Amino acid sequence: MRVLIATDGSECSYEAARQFIKLTHAMRHHITVIHVMPLLMVGRDAAYLQIEEEREGLAALNTVKSIFDDVAIPVETEMKQGIPANTILEVARQGDYDLIVIGHRGRGGFRELLLGSVSKTIVHNSPCSVLIGR
């Protein structure tokens, strides 16, 4: 099974990865962990914000990777830039994934007001099954 695990660095996204492991009993799958940096970088401090977002994205990817490393399951990691829900859906379609795993809430705040609920958009538009972790 091809599995796409989306992380935004929130505890909900980490818990979704843990729930996936529990539900599948650590069976072997082709797993890709993705973090999407939103396209909100404008203005005078754009370069600093971009660097900070990349740092946070790498930390999120490494956290999920370590969750899988703890149970000896290899994963690939990928960082993209775009509108998070749209980018996740595009990767899922292009990669012919069987399952998307995502947390029920992201980091929230102003960014969520601008972008809308990523998990809601994915559930309504996914080309495959979706596991939402709480």
Task: Give the domain CATH number at 108.
Answer: 3.40.50.620
Distance CA 13, CA 60 (A): 9
Q: Which residues pair with 125 in a beta bridge?
A: none
Domain that holds residue 113: 2-133
Classify the C-alpha dihedral 27-28-32-33 as positive or negative: positive
How much is the pTM?
Answer: 0.87
Q: Are 60 and 7 in contact (CB under 8 A)?
A: yes
Q: How many domains does the chain have?
A: 1
Distance CA 120, CA 124 (A): 6
Per-residue pLDDT of the chain (134 residues; tens, 9 = 90+): 999 999 999 999 999 999 999 998 767 789 999 999 887 656 666 677 788 889 999 999 999 999 999 999 999 999 999 999 999 999 999 999 999 999 986 555 444 444 458 888 999 999 999 999 87
- Rounded to 5 degrees, φ, ψ at 4 are -110, 115
